[in-house]
């Protein structure tokens, strides 16, 4: 019985450790894109659905991803409007680096 508890404890520890790695490369790329977009439009309210952005990830070559999702500017204000965020991310040693952010009307 002690071995069973030790095994479960080790499995839970491993699951927690892996969970702390930050999720899939697609979700980390989406987060990097959202951060880059917010920096680019400094001073404006910007909302992007990270789940949609993550699910849109497609391979563009061997080490690059392209992600697209609707973004809303000035969320909740009378001046609210939407565009499409188009983002390209290079993956180097498992680390996403945004190489391009474009807003498409």
Q: What Å distances lie between residue 70 and 3, 23, 30, 60, 94, CA to CA?
A: 51, 22, 13, 20, 26
Mean pLDDT of the chain: 84
pLDDT average, residue stretch 67-75: 96
Q: Residue 24's pLDDT is what?
A: 96
For the cut 70, the answer to whether the pLDDT of residue 27 exceeds it is yes
pLDDT average, residue stretch 71-95: 96
Each residue of 43-64: pLDDT tens digit?
889 999 999 999 999 999 889 9
Domains and CATH numbers, the chain: 24-104 (3.10.450.630)
For the cut 80, the answer to whether the pLDDT of residue 8 exceeds it is no
How many angstroms separate the CA atoms of 103 and 25, rounded? 22
Instruction: Answer with the residue of higher pLDDT: 39 or 15.
Output: 39
SS (H, E, C) the chain: CHHHHHHHHHHHHHHHHHHCCCCCHHHHHHHHHHHHHHHHCCCCCEEECHHHHHHCCEECCCCEEEEEEEEEECCCCCCCEEEEEEEEEEEECCEEEEEEEEEEC
Percent of the chain predicted with pLDDT > 70:
79
């Amino acid at each position: 019985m002690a071995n069973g508890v030790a095994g479960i404890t080790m499995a839970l520890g491993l699951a927690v450790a892996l969970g702390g790695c930050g999720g899939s490369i697609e979700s980390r790329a989406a987060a990097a894109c959202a951060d880059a977009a917010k920096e680019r439009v400094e001073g404006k309210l910007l909302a992007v659905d990270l789940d949609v952005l993550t699910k849109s990830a497609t391979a563009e070559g061997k080490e690059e991803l392209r992600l697209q999702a609707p973004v809303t500017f000035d969320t909740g204000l009378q001046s609210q409007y939407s565009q499409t965020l188009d983002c390209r991310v290079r993956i180097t040693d498992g680390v996403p680096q945004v190489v391009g952010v474009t807003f498409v009307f």
